[in-house]
Structures are given as structure tokens and as C-alpha cells.
Amino acid sequence: MAAMLIIPIFIPHRGCPHDCLFCNQQKISGRARNNPARVAVAGTIDEWLARKGRRSQVQVAFFGGSFTCLPVGEQLALLSAVQPYIRDKKVESIRLSTRPDCIDAAVCARLLEYKVGVVELGAQSFNDRVLQTSLRGHNAEQVRKSFALLKKTSMQVGLQLMPGLPGETSGSFLRGIDEVIGLKPDFVRLYPAIVVKDSGLERLYQAHRYRPLSLGQAVALTARCFQKLTGAGIKVVRMGLQPSVSLAESVIAGPYHPAFGELVQSRLWLKKIRARLATVQPPQKLFIHVSPRDVSAVVGMKKQNIKRLAELGFSGLFTIVPNEEMVRGSIEYVVG
């Protein structure tokens, strides 16, 4: 089945009542702030529908701002622009992101009325001290309450989390992940904090009052989070910010990598294969069958996993076998 087509409508920083320490949406999204009432929503939808191909499921997504913090009139203008496409069955539903302190029962009712199917809450952390330091303007209890309200509806609810914020430790973030597992969101996005130009975080960094996670630290922590979440049946739909030229040019420091998610997956493959190789007794050899789509992550960027396994003494004891019959993400070991 073809993947769902998600049509992006960007509303950078619109509705946000705070300038969070880590944020510069113009740099992150590559788009200047605009007035959503003037966004050519219909034109954007038509443009994407013209090239949807075989994809039968279509969703319109409002990205980059805090949608339900917008004035109600602006929310309705955007939502109403999508309704003709929903009535004509050209679009299935709407998804949007927002802040925990901009959700109440009336907001939930309005979103349902206008066929919103997915809401992503920007929680970032479940540590009140971290949220306060990051100038989020809300606390963890507001995340819990807004999440509970949304979960009572038929909408899917996701959480966006940001390891590496000021004051956050690996331990405190993992405790937050344990709380997330208890909430049972439909999905999670993990965006390790990076320092972007003209953000509050840049000012702290330049004053030597903030040290971001290194790339290795961020990959290791995100991998642990991924394992805990997926082990509990919770989908992790993205790890690392969506790469763009604007973002790459604006990064001052921190664990930015255009293929961050693959680095995490590669680390997980390495741990899994290393553990299995430890049970192989020479002259036995391990044939590792994986989907062709997984080979690059299994081997690692610049063959880092192969090199690391060689350093650990496993050189010549294994062969990676691309197997068309393997489902992506699965692995099969054959001892020969």
C-alpha cells in the first residue's frame, strides 16, 4: 500500500505566545513568519494533489506554529479552507501541532468538528525545572492535562520531546520517557536540542552557560529512548529535525545531522549484531540476513559498524546478506 500523502502548510511561529529558548522557527523551517489567514491553502493543496500518484490517503498538516494558540478567527479560516477537499473525499483529515497550554474542552470540540485527525503536543520535557529554564511558559502538569483531554476524543495524539535542553540529564529525560510510556501516546517525535542562530540558546551557549549534547551522546540517548518506547508498543515516527539548507546554515552547535535517525538505527543494529556475534565460536561464521533497505544502516555510515565489529575482534566471522524476502527492520541469523 502506498504511504499517506501529507500536504504541508507552514505557519512558522504563528500562535506561539512565547519565544522558547531553543526556538527560531524561521531558521528551523526555512520560512519567514506569515499570516495564516493569507496563506494560499487551497493552492497548496491543489498543487500537491496534482502529483499525489497512487496514494489514496491524503492529510493536510499545519506545521511550524502553535495552531490552537492562534486567534479563533485565524484557526477557522485555515480549517475552513480544507473542508471542501474533505467533503469531496480528496483529503481524509487534518493534522496540526500545538502547545499544551492551548488545549481545553472547547478547543477539542472545535478540532473534531473540522475533521482534525491528529494533534501533536510539543511537550519537550516532563521536568518542570527544564521547562522553566527553557522559557516554555507551561509546566509538566499542563502537558498531562491537555494530553488527557485529547485522548478522550477520537483524535490521534502524539508527543514531541527534546532531549538535551538546559538542566536536563540523561536520567531525568529517561524518567520522562517512562512517564510518556504510561500516557500511551499514538506516536512520539524525538528532536535533540540544537543551538540555532539568533535563539536564546545561542546566547547561553556563547556565554558558556550551556553545553549541548555531542552527536554521539544524542545518538546514544535517543537510541535508548527508541528502545524503551517501541518496546512498549509506541511508534517513534521521527528522530532529529527535518534537514534543510536553511537549518544546516543556521546551526551554531549541537547534535545536528541530516541523517540523525539513521545514525540511531545504525547504533541499534550494532548492539544487536554484536550481542549475537559474541555467541559464535570460530570456525563458525554468522550470516546476517536483513532487508536490502536496511543494509546501509546495518553497515553504518562510512562502514562504521563494520569497522567497530572488527575492532571488537569479529572480523571475518560474519557476512551481511541482503535478503529480498526479509521485512524491513527484521533480522535473521544463520550459522555456517
**What is the CATH code of the structural domain delimited by 5-258?**
3.20.20.70
pLDDT band, very low/low/confident/very high, at 248 (cuts 50, 70, 90): confident
> Which of 17-21, 31-35, 38-42, 131-135 has the weakest average pLDDT?
31-35
**Host H or E run for residue 221:** helix 215-231
pLDDT band, very low/low/confident/very high, at 200 (cuts 50, 70, 90): confident
Report how far Cα 138 is from the mean position of its chain's Cα atoms. Answer: 21
Using CA atoms, how far residue 202 sits from 1, 24, 132, 134, 327, in Å, is 44, 10, 17, 12, 43
pLDDT value, residue 140 = 95
Residue pLDDT, tens place only, 84-127: 999 999 999 999 999 999 999 999 999 999 999 999 999 999 99
Chain mean pLDDT for the chain: 91
Strand 331-335 with 286-290, pairing: antiparallel
- Domain locations in the chain as residue ranges: 5-258, 272-335
pLDDT value, residue 24 = 62
Residue in 238, 273, 248 with CA at minimum distance from that of residue 97: 238
Q: Is pLDDT above 70 for 26? A: no
Residue type, position 133, single letter: T
Q: Is pLDDT above 70 for 69? A: yes
Using CA atoms, how far residue 230 sits from 33, 227, 236, in Å, is 35, 5, 7
pLDDT band, very low/low/confident/very high, at 30 (cuts 50, 70, 90): very low
Residue pLDDT, tens place only, 275-326: 999 999 889 999 999 999 999 999 999 999 999 999 999 999 999 999 999 9
pLDDT value, residue 16 = 58
Q: Is pLDDT above 60 for 27? A: no
- Strand residues in the chain grouped as ranges (E): 5-10, 58-63, 93-98, 116-124, 156-161, 187-190, 195-196, 235-239, 251-253, 286-290, 318-322, 331-335
Q: 28 and 196 in contact (C-beta within 8 Å)?
A: yes
